[in-house]
Chain A
Amino acid sequence: MKFFLIRVVPPTVILLVGLLAWEIFVRVNKTPIYILPGPLAIFEALVTDWKTLYPSLLVTLAITAAALAAATVLGVAIAVLFAQSKWVEMSFFPYAVILQVTPVVAIAPLIIIWVKDTAAALLICAWIVAFFPIVSNTTLGLNSTDHNLLNLLQLYGANRHQVFWYLRLPSALPFFLGGLRISGGLALIGAVVAEFVAGSGGIQSGLAYRILEAGYQLKIPRMFAALFMITGTGILIFILLTLISHLALRRWHESAVKREG
C-alpha cells in the first residue's frame, strides 16, 4: 500500500496534470491537428487505428524479444569465453566495443542490403545494440568473485568447473541482471531504428513503419499514437526485467533488500 502511494500515485498525478495542460494549450491556441494534436485526438486515433497499429506492435515486439533473447544467450556465452582467459578477453573485447560505438543507423542500411530476410536483418540490428551491456556487465561480474572464496575453493581442491558453477556464475548474477535491464530498452530502440531505416527504403515492418507512413499522410495523431505504444512497450519491458531482477536477488543482494531503519 505504501509502495503504491509512493511509486504509483505521484507519477500518475503528474501524467494527468500534464495531459490536461496539453489539451488546454492545444484548445486555447487552436493549434492545427497536423502540427500538434491534443491527447484526446491521439486517444481517438489509437482507438480507430487499433486494427493497423496492433499487428505492427506485435511485429516490433517479436523483433525486440528475439533480439533480447539472442543478446542474453550470446552475451553470456561471450562473457563466459572472456572469463576463461585474460588473453581471449584482451583480444576480443575491443571489437565488442567497436560494434557498440558504431551507430546502428549507420550500419543498418548495409545489413538490410546484405540480409535478404527483413525480420532477420532487423533482428541483427537490434541485437548489435542490445548485446554489449550484457557482455560487459557479465564479464565484470565473472571477474569480481571474492578472492577469499576462490582461495577457499582452491583449498578444498575444487576444479575449474566447480569454481565456475559454484562461485563465479552466481557472483556475476547481479551484474548480469543490471546489464539485462539496460539491454531490454536498447533492444527495443535497436528494433525501432532498424525498422525506420528499412521503412524509408519501402520495406513495411513494425510500429516505426506506421510512424513513417502516418507522417507521409500527415496523420499526426496516429503518429503520436504509435509513438506512445513504443514508449509504453519500453516501460513494460523495464518493469518486467526489474521484477525478474528483484525476484532473483531479493533474499541476498543489497540492491534488492529493504534497508532497515
Chain B
Amino acid sequence: MASLIVRKNTDSLGAAELAALRAGYAKAQTIMDNRGYNHFAGIHGIPNWYCWHHSHTQGSNVNANLFLPWHRAYLLYFERAIRDQSPPTPKVGLPWWDWTSNTSHSVGVPHAFSVATAGGQPNPLFKARIVAPTATPPINRFTRRFPGNPAQLPTAASVNALLNLTQFNDFTSQLENIHDFVHGWTGGNNGSVGGDMGSLGTAAWDPIFWSHHCNIDRLWYLWQLKHGVNNITPNLLPMVLQPFGLKVQDVLSINALGYEYAVSFITL
C-alpha cells in the first residue's frame, strides 16, 4: 500500500531531500512536453489562464470561489510531475514556505530558493526559464524576483485570526488577500520592472510559487481541521476544476489525495 506523501517546511528539509527536490525541478525544467515544468507553469497564467482566483460564475449565477480547491488540484498534479523526475530515493513532497516564521521575517525567501547556485550548479529553485512563444510579445527568459522587506511578511497573529473565521467564503476571501500580498511582496520590483511572482501571468514559473501555494493549501487544511473537512458551500461540490478533471468534492480531504503536512519529521 502506498504511503502518504509528506509535505515538509522548506526549512526542515534534509540535505538529501533538498538535493532530490532540486534534481526533480532541474529535470522537469528541461522537459518541454506535458510532463515538464514549463507546461505546468503555463496552466496558471500565460498562455492557458486556467487559474481560479476570486469569485467566478460558471454556467449559472452561482458565485463560486474556487481559489483553494483549484490550487489544491494544481499542486497535486505538479507534485506528481516533479516526483516523476526525481531520484528514486528519497521521494519528497512539495515543501511549504511559512512566511510567518521568524526565519522568513529575517531572511525573506527561504535560503533553499534564494541562492543562485547549489552544488556548483544553477539552483533550479532560484529561477526557471519562461518559454511562452504564443504570448504577445513572446517570452523566453529566466524568471526574476525582487522581494521586499522580510519584516513586512504576514505575521502568525494575522494567520491565526483568519483561522478563527467560521464561514468558508469569509476564510477563503481573507486568506486570498494575504496570498495576494505575498505574491506582490515576492515579485516586488527594481524600480523599472516587477518580478514574476507579482503578476498572475508569469507567477507560476518562479519556483517559490509552488511552496507559497503549498503554505496556502496547508492553511486551508488547518482551517478544515478546525471547522470541518466538508465545510464548504454545498453547491460548489460538483464543480469541475479545469483542466484537471477533479471536482471540488474530490479535493476536500488531503489524505484521500495521498498527502499530509508535517510540522516535524524524524526518521529513526
A and B bind? no
| Contact surface of A with B, Cβ cutoff 8 Å | none
| Contact surface of B with A, Cβ cutoff 8 Å | none
